[in-house]
């Protein structure tokens, strides 16, 4: 029986056998530490009833550890050169399906409906390509897919922003966007030494547990997110200034904005970073009714 893929020796053998060279532009940093992989998979609570979507299997290091526990794994890989390698390394796991596609372009709803019929729950598990982490996470959340949770490795700096609380330097529109849909927790930090090649930044694993209902109920989601983004446009400016300058037609509607802030008892001199998600929701509903 072959040794696990994610050991320095086996990974080197595989890379040499296929003459594989890493593409930095595709965020290719492969994991070579099975202990770290076991811990990632532990955090995903995968059982024999779980279907797993993986983004970017690489040479199959994480895929293999997930496959040992899951009912089915569907992995999206953009780099064609990895397909023959994956066919070889994942040969002992017939319940893994590799799809050669950019995950941002995949029809995820259809794939889920087709591939996970017999699964009780669906998790997303990945060591994400760092050049595109936020769009991938947001895609899984905004499409309101029937998934239970997401456990992913990403840049520590992005993990910090996602799980940040109000009035901290990392808190911003990304924290609110992700916390709107999920409960977010950084579950481990990971040293650079467990990757080949080693990335330039520190890494962390984050667990996002999907909420049954969004964290706050708002009249119009789109307006809520527009308001949040406008509130953080210039971090050092007050909420009033940011909304006046960054909402469409904000300048013409300064009085309307002032009135809405007053109505929900938010001091117009506060900064966006001090508002909780609940306060943003109240402000959004108050303003949405009057805003033109």
Stretch that binds ligand SAM, among 24-32, 140-148, 232-240, 279-287 (CB under 6 A): 24-32
Which residues in the 27-66 window bind ligand SAM by CB under 6 A? 27-31, 55-58, 61-62
Region of 25-33, 113-121, 213-221, 272-280 interacting with ligand SAM (CB under 6 A): 25-33
The reply, when asked if residue 56 is annotated as ligand binding, is yes
Tokens of 149: 């949770």
Q: Is 4 annotated as a binding residue?
A: no
Which of positions 118-137 make contact with ligand SAM (CB under 6 A)? Answer: 127, 129, 132
Nearer to ligand SAM, 61 or 228 (CB): 61
The contacts found for 245-248 with CB under 8 angstroms, 24 or more apart, are 247/291
Token pair, residue 274, equals: 């001090």
The reply, when asked if residue 102 is annotated as ligand binding, is yes
Query: How many angstroms from the chain centroid is the CA of residue 248?
Result: 28
Residue 172 per-residue DSSP state: S
Those residues with Cβ within 8 angstroms of residue 239's Cβ, 6 or more apart along the chain or in another chain: 231, 261, 266, 268, 269, 270, 271, 272, 275
In what order do the strands lie in the sheet containing 182-190?
96-100, 72-77, 50-55, 121-127, 149-155, 203-210, 182-190
Tell me the backbone φ, ψ of residue 121, rounded to 5 degrees.
-155, 160
The answer to whether the annotation marks 29 as part of a ligand binding site is yes
Which segment (83-91, 96-104, 161-169, 266-274) binds ligand SAM by CB under 6 A?
Answer: 96-104
Taking the complex as a whole, the smallest distance from the CB of residue 280 to ligand SAM amounts, in Å, to: 31
Sign of the torsion angle spanned by Cα atoms 215, 216, 219, 220: negative
Least distance from ligand SAM to the Cβ atom of residue 278, Å? 34
Residues 100/77, Cβ–Cβ less than 8 Å:
yes
Annotated ligand binding at 79? The verdict is no
Minimum distance, C-beta of residue 232 to ligand SAM, in the bound complex (Å): 26
Nearer to ligand SAM, 3 or 259 (CB): 3
Only one residue has tokens 């009714």, namely 289
SS3 of residue 160 by DSSP:
helix
Q: For residue 190, give the H/E element and its range.
A: strand 182-190
Residue 141 contacts residue 178 (beta carbons within 8 Å): yes
From 13-21, 22-30, 163-171, 283-291, give the range in contact with ligand SAM by CB under 6 A. Answer: 22-30
149 is in an annotated binding site: no
List the x/- string, 65-94, binding to ligand SAM by CB under 6 A: -----------xxxx--x------------
Residues 102-121 that bind ligand SAM (CB under 6 A): 102-104
Interface contacts to ligand SAM, rule CB under 6 A: 26-31, 55-58, 61-62, 76-79, 82, 102-104, 127, 129, 132
Q: Annotated binding site for S-adenosyl-L-methionine, which residues? A: 29, 31, 56, 77, 102, 127
């Amino acid at each position: 029986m072959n040794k696990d893929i994610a050991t320095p020796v086996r990974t080197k053998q595989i890379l040499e056998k296929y003459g594989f060279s890493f593409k930095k532009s595709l965020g290719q940093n492969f994991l070579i530490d099975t202990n770290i992989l076991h811990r990632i998979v532990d955090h995903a609570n995968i059982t024999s009833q779980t279907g797993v979507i993986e983004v970017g299997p690489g040479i199959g290091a994480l895929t293999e550890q997930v496959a040992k526990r899951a009912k089915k794994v569907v992995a999206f890989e953009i780099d064609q050169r990895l397909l023959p390698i994956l066919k070889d390394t994942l040969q002992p796991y017939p319940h893994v399906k590799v799809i050669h596609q950019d995950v941002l372009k995949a029809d995820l709803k259809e794939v889920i409906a087709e591939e996970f019929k017999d699964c009780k729950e669906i998790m997303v598990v990945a060591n994400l390509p760092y050049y595109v982490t936020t769009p991938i996470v947001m895609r899984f959340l905004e499409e309101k897919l029937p998934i239970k949770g997401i456990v992913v490795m990403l840049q520590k700096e992005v993990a910090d922003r996602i799980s940040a609380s109000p009035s901290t330097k990392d808190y911003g529109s990304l924290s609110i966007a992700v916390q709107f849909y999920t409960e977010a927790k950084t579950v481990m930090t990971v040293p650079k030494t467990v990757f080949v090649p080693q990335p330039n930044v520190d890494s962390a694993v984050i667990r996002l547990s999907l909420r049954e209902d969004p964290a706050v109920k708002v009249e119009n989601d789109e307006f809520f997110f527009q308001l949040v983004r406008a509130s953080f446009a210039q971090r050092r400016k007050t909420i009033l200034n940011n909304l006046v300058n960054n909402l469409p037609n904000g300048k013409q509607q300064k009085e309307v904005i002032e009135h809405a802030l007053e109505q929900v008892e938010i001091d117009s001199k506060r900064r966006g970073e001090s508002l909780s998600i609940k306060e943003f929701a109240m402000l959004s509903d108050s303003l949405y009714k009057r805003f033109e």
